[in-house]
Chain A
Amino acid sequence: QVQLVESGGGVVQPGRSLRLSCAASGFTFSDYGMHWVRQAPGKGLEWVAIIWYDGTTKYYADSVKGRFTVSRDNSKNTLHLQMNRLRAEDTAVYYCARRGSHDTFDCWGQGTLVTVSS
């Protein structure tokens, strides 16, 4: 079955960097675009970034543009999110999600918590 497993979260100081990963299985990873979505504690969902199935196109939320970079390795069925110059407001659970047909988030990982604090 389709499975997405995030890793790499943790506690990091403001201004530092962190790299999240999402391991995909149960489907042909290279056929699908992939998203990152985050959720701050007690808050709603916020879309972060998308990368096309072949990595050629990427879009970002304004709140992370210039600081975060999404990438993928189709040979390893893995999605990444490089997060630089982290801020307290980046504290959230980060989910990877598959771009389904009809432009949905049709499968989600369990999430990984990123806490930015001194």
Chain B
Amino acid sequence: DIQMTQSPSSLSASVGDRVTITCRASQSVSSYLNWYQQKPGKAPNLLIYGASSLQSGVPSRFSGSGSGTDFILTITTLQPEDFATYSCQQSYSFPYTFGQGTKLEIK
């Protein structure tokens, strides 16, 4: 199975900040890497697919980069509604696997 490791596990930031979250795969997943946002008590929401493509309706302050084993989610100019948990997920091979999540909190 492909293991996905995110860092950091938690992150404190302020409104207006720029933040980056890293996701590393235990083996190459090419560009089959997706990012999700999840708020407490809610289902996840797809943000980025194919490592760098923005899902329809997602604000342009979200962006993704990387390929192979190393990926980055960047959020520029944090908004109050962005404080949530972010998870990466590989769809390169079954079983699909998620990172453990990064909780983004208000400083």
Interface centre among A95, A100, A104 (most CB of B within 10 A): A104
The answer to whether A104 and B97 touch across the interface, beta carbons within 8 angstroms, is no
Give the contact-size bracket for chain A.
20 to 34
Q: B62 in the interface, Cβ–Cβ < 8 Å?
A: no
| In contact, B94 and A50 (Cβ under 8 angstroms) | yes
Q: How far is the CB of B24 from chain A (nearest CB, A)?
A: 15
Given contacts A45-B89, A106-B55, contact A111 B95 (CB under 8 A): no
Chain B, 90-107, CB within 8 A of any chain A CB: 91, 94-101
Residues of A participating in the B interface, judged by any CB pair closer than 8 Å: 35, 44-47, 50, 59-62, 95, 97, 100, 102-106, 108-111
Given contacts A45-B36, A59-B95, 18 further A-B contacts (CB under 8 A): A44-B98, A44-B101, A45-B89, A45-B98, A47-B89, A47-B95, A50-B94, A60-B95, A97-B43, A102-B49, A102-B91, A104-B34, A104-B46, A104-B49, A105-B44, A105-B46, A105-B89, A108-B43
